Amino acid sequence: MRATSERNIVLTGFMGSGKTSVGKLIAEKTGRAFVDTDDLIEQRAGKSIPRIFEEEGETAFRDLETEAVQRAARTHARVIATGGGAVMRPQNREALRKTGDVIFLDAEPEILLRRIQNDGTRPLLQTENPLERARALLKERRPVYLQADMTIQTDRLTEEEAADAVLEALQTGARRVHVNLGERSYAIHIGRGTLSRLPELLDFAPKGAKIAVCANAHIQRLYGAALADSLNAAGYDAWTADLPDGERHKTLQAAADLYDQFVENRMGRDSFVAALGGGVAGDVAGFAAATYMRGVPLIQIPTSLIAQVDSSVGGKTAVDHPKGKNLIGAFHQPKLVAIDVDTLKTLPAREYAAGIAEVMRYGVIASEGLFHTLETRMEDILRRDALLMTEIAAECCAIKARIVEQDERESGLRATLNYGHTFGHALETVTGYKRFLHGEAVGVGMVCAAEMSAARGLVGREFCDRHRALLHSAGLPSTMPSGVDPTAMVDAMKMDKKAVVSSRGVQLRFIISRKIGSAEIRGDFTEEEARAAIEAAKR
């Protein structure tokens, strides 16, 4: 996956993603030769691609394309732009990856269409509603595109910037994901050494601004004090604010203690709160930032795997109530998320593994490619390979960003992120939040969800088996403890925020997957089916 001078740089993506123009710029910047597989096809066939489609049909075109891709993949040190559909055939992907680093240039369908709107030669878009067609095509192809070595989001980039982003990603492995929420948009920076790059990433914060680096004592020792020093050296007025250590301190009292420290340190409306650490830091410091002076700017600097791939992105902040997790909270989008994968090295093994369950959840609901990566590269994941974890975190963040963009306040789609969580939360509740880490409970919860789908015949046995096998390979629990009372768990589910309370009682909502890489929200499963699934997960 490293870009050496010998390996090709292969650009993939939908039409309009800029493969050709960005590719030519990269070729120029690196002094490489540029190859467009579409050109190879036209040369070989002696006619234009629209004519090939028209006279010989798509299958013939795809055969020609495979031949061209294989030919291109036999070269070295080139920049290769591929046709929009080229990577759909597995043998094409294999060939390209052997000799090159494959980079997916991602963009929203609206932006893609705007870029190609005056090009009459695009065969697949000669339809009545091109946007709908583009969306459908992208939905189908994106999971395959995302199997690229790297994904660069180009929505807000010029061609020049996109070319630079590709080269930067190849050189450093650093990645950037944008969360597009209008005025509340922000960037997620992922890679090695992101912590030390924080002063430069904070270019939007005026020098002299106060920054409260909020972390527990352990994280302050490891990273917080050094971070505050480097921020101060860069001209900021950073100081360290103390958070208690541990999930059981995710309380309103912890937020109140932060308010006290903020007041004492004269934090104003334009001061920044940096939440440094795992999910608890992000949640408590995030909630305090959301509510101090009715909201001050927040920077998320997650150091645990679970926070890096999930809780730091999307603006959810909360503290627990004795009667329910996350019952008190607010939506407050960060101004920046800075993910340093090197911090994963200092995580206890059990906590790290728990984070893998959340990654797996993304695989199930949104990316068969990611699920496959987990199945095939668990060893590298467990030794916390920095480049691989950068890729994985970037993909998880990109999936979450896309979902949050469509449903910021969880009125629908965003709920699919709760796959395994309805069962998981209930399992945490009935075991008193002592026996399982959150991610571990979510892992077992996913097995329950899979078993519930299987009992309905929505998926086969192998679907459940893949769940269990993957959890097992990560060293995570994959079965429900035999002592757990299914009725108690279902009762706990009814207090979940996701349950719909109406005059007819409480209706449970479940996230169900019928195929790795997709999920849906269902309200048609009964309490009895849920109890049966919990029993089935015990075996």
Residues lying near a copy of itself in the complex (CB under 8 A) are found at: 206-208, 210, 237, 252, 256, 259-260, 263-264, 266, 268-271, 287, 290-295, 316-318, 321, 323-324, 326-331, 409, 495, 497, 499-504
Report, in Å, the least distance between residue 258 CB and a copy of itself: 10
**CA 100/CA 65 separation, integer angstroms:** 18
- Is residue 259 exposed (0-12), middle (13-18) or buried (19+ Cβ within 10 Å)? middle
CA distance 468 to 159: 44
Q: Work out the burial of residue 317: count CB atoms within 10 Å of its CB; fewer than 13 is exposed, 13-18 middle, 19 or more buried.
A: buried
- The SS3 assignment for 173 reads coil
Q: What are the tokens at 455?
A: 């009992």
Instruction: Report the residue number, 110 or 270, with the smaller CB distance to a copy of itself.
Output: 270
To a copy of itself, the closest distance from the beta carbon of 416 in angstroms equals: 17
Nearest distance from residue 42's CB to a copy of itself, in Å? 49
In sign, the C-alpha dihedral spanning 376, 382, 383, 387 is positive
b/e per residue 130-148 (b: at least 16 CB within 10 A): beebbbebbeebbbbbbbb
Beta carbon of residue 131, minimum distance to a copy of itself (angstroms, whole number): 23
Q: Which CB sits closer to a copy of itself, 293 or 413?
A: 293
373 or 422: CB nearest a copy of itself:
422
Q: Shortest Cβ distance from residue 358 to a copy of itself (Å)?
A: 20
CB closer to a copy of itself out of 165 and 290: 290
User: What's the min distance (Å) between Cβ of 456 and a copy of itself?
Assistant: 26
Query: Residue 488 burial by CB count (10 A; 0-12/13-18/19+): exposed, middle or buried?
Result: middle
Distance between CA 329 and CA 334 in Å, rounded? 15
Q: Which residues contact 371 (CB under 8 A, 6 or more apart)?
A: 360, 363, 364, 466, 470, 516, 517
- Between residues 208 and 523, which has the closer beta carbon with respect to a copy of itself? 208
| CA 335 – CA 353 distance, rounded (Å) | 28
Eight-state DSSP code of residue 205:
S
Residue 196 vs 261, nearer CB to a copy of itself: 261
Nearer to a copy of itself, 167 or 328 (CB): 328
* Tokens representing residue 440 in the block: 């571990």
In whole angstroms, the minimum distance from the beta carbon of 293 to a copy of itself comes to 5
Are 361 and 311 spatial neighbours (Cβ–Cβ below 8 Å)?
Answer: no
Shortest separation between residue 62's beta carbon and a copy of itself, angstroms:
45
What's the min distance (Å) between Cβ of 195 and a copy of itself? 24
Q: Which is nearer to a copy of itself, 324 or 475 (CB)?
A: 324
CB of 238 to a copy of itself, least distance (A): 13
Residue 363, judged by CB atoms within 10 A of its CB (0-12, 13-18, 19+), counts as buried
Q: Taking the complex as a whole, how short is the minimal distance between the CB of residue 255 and a copy of itself, in angstroms?
A: 8
- Judged by CB, which is closer to a copy of itself: 287, or 436? 287
Contact 43/65 with Cβ under 8 angstroms?
no
DSSP H helical ranges for 307-460? 349-366, 368-376, 378-382, 386-406, 421-430, 438-456
Q: Does an H or E element contain 301, and which?
A: strand 298-302
In whole angstroms, what is the distance from residue 530 CA to residue 47 CA?
Answer: 59
Nearer to a copy of itself, 504 or 539 (CB): 504
Judged by CB, which is closer to a copy of itself: 83, or 314?
314
Q: Which two tokens stand for residue 506?
A: 């409480």
C-beta closer to a copy of itself: residue 31 or 208: 208
For residue 264, the surrounding DSSP H or E stretch is helix 252-264
Closer Cβ to a copy of itself, 497 or 515, answer by number: 497
How would DSSP label each residue in 460-493? -HHHHHHHHHHHHHTT---S--TT--HHHHHHHH
Least separation, in Å, of the C-beta of 259 and a copy of itself?
Answer: 6
Minimum Å distance from CB 265 to a copy of itself? 10
